[in-house]
Chain A
Amino acid sequence: MNDSLPAYPLPIRVLHWLTVILVAGLFALAAGNGLIAEAAPDLGEMLVVVHINLGFFVFLATLARLALRFGVTGPGPSDRARTSLHILARTVHGLLYAGLLAIPVAGYVKLASLGFEIRILGTVPLPGLPFDPSLARVARDTHAGVALCLLGLVVLHAAAAALHHRIDGIPVLRRMSLWPGAGRMGVHYTARRDSR
């Protein structure tokens, strides 16, 4: 384990914050469609089409993050955090990845099994599926249910990071930061701990 908490590799940090932005956009688009679809159906449809495209890119970004996570050596957890917290953190991270993959797949199955042709960026068609309303309903429930679970996990993940950073004094936020100097935070953390 590494107590100096070096930063994650830049590609992982970029993909992390890209995912944050995309997921926030996805929830905003879904909520926006719910609010305006009756008054402005065409605008609602446009929001859904953008939602579909962003979801596809979340799926790709998550695959890339998993590939990087297994292929690139990242920083280990802090020695100051308890083992039980390490296990909890790994579990939450695993569930987050699972959710980020499952939700776009469920959304795709929901629409494709009702005969809707999904075209990424309006050009690249995704494969169709046999017409199956029952499968579509299961996929719809999965899409919505897992999305709500993901929201809860995101809150838990963010709260835990903030808790470690602010209360425990472990600068976990900085190692995922995109700002210059993030890679030197181990020096700052060590100095801060020694000064206590």
Chain B
Amino acid sequence: MQGTARTPFTVLLLFVGTAVALWLIVMGTHYADGAAEIGSDEAAATTLVSQYGEDVVAYATVRRSDGTYRRMLVSKWALEPIAEAGSVPEGTRILMETYYRPGVVSTVFHARKSGSSWRYGSFQAANPDLATRSRASCLSCHAEAADTDLVFTLPSLFAFAAGGGASDFVCERGGRSPCDGLVYQQGVAQ
């Protein structure tokens, strides 16, 4: 019986250890929160980008404390309707280029407004693919931006559409964890 008694105890210890380790990993991606203005550079410049199959312009750059950054782009045609209506029209496409090294685009995430919600997709920069579908992993995260049409950088987009410059700010959370909504508000280009 000693052997059979030890086995479930070991299983429990393994489970608890695994659970604690996973918790530490998850919590480790949610450290400090805040925003800071930094100098703009070429990535934040208002740029017309056409290589993805649709004319899009850069309206924001969101930097992370680990040196990576994301450049946000939006359909050029949508800027005027956004400025006029104060909302994002159906069919608008938003792209997010991820940069792990300055100037080198990695995965490009994109979203297309469909009805009230958004459909999502992704591709590697060298092989553009604008197909979208409803994706649970994207919606799960973007639910946090409920007040801003499921778009974290909507304040920057509205400011840009209204004639302001491209925003450039820091979200000090690690990895892909979105920052608090206040960070995206404070990061809007003045």
Interface positions of A (Cβ within 8 A of B):
20, 24, 27-28, 30-31, 33-35, 37-39, 41-42, 44-45, 47-49, 52, 110-111, 114-118, 131, 133-134, 136-137, 139-140, 148, 151, 154-155, 158-159, 161-162, 165-166, 171, 173-174, 176-177, 179, 181-182, 185, 188
Contacts and interface: CB of A to CB of B under 8 A. Distances in A.
A146 to B, nearest CB: 14
Contacts of B29: 34
11 contacts: A30-B26, A34-B29, A45-B138, A114-B143, A134-B146, A139-B143, A158-B15, A162-B9, A174-B1, A174-B8, A177-B8
A176 B7 CA distance: 12
Interface of B: 1, 4-5, 7-9, 12-13, 15-16, 18-20, 22-23, 25-26, 29, 98, 106-107, 109, 115-117, 122, 134-140, 142-144, 146-147, 149-150, 175-176
Given A34-B25, A111-B136, A158-B12, 18 more contacts: A28-B22, A31-B26, A34-B176, A35-B25, A41-B122, A45-B137, A110-B140, A114-B142, A115-B139, A133-B146, A137-B144, A148-B23, A154-B15, A161-B12, A162-B9, A173-B5, A174-B8, A188-B1
Counting chain A CB atoms within 10 Å of each CB, which of B98, B107, B146, B149 scores highest?
A: B146
A171 B136 CA distance: 43
B4 A174 contact: yes
Contact of A159 (B4, B16, B26, B115): B16
A158 B143 contact: no
Given A41-B109, A177-B8, A179-B7, A140 B143 contact: yes
A100 B1 CA distance: 32
Contacts of A134: 146-147
B107 A38 contact: yes
Given A35-B25, A39-B107, A181-B1, A115 B16 contact: no
A31 B15 contact: no
A174 B5 contact: yes
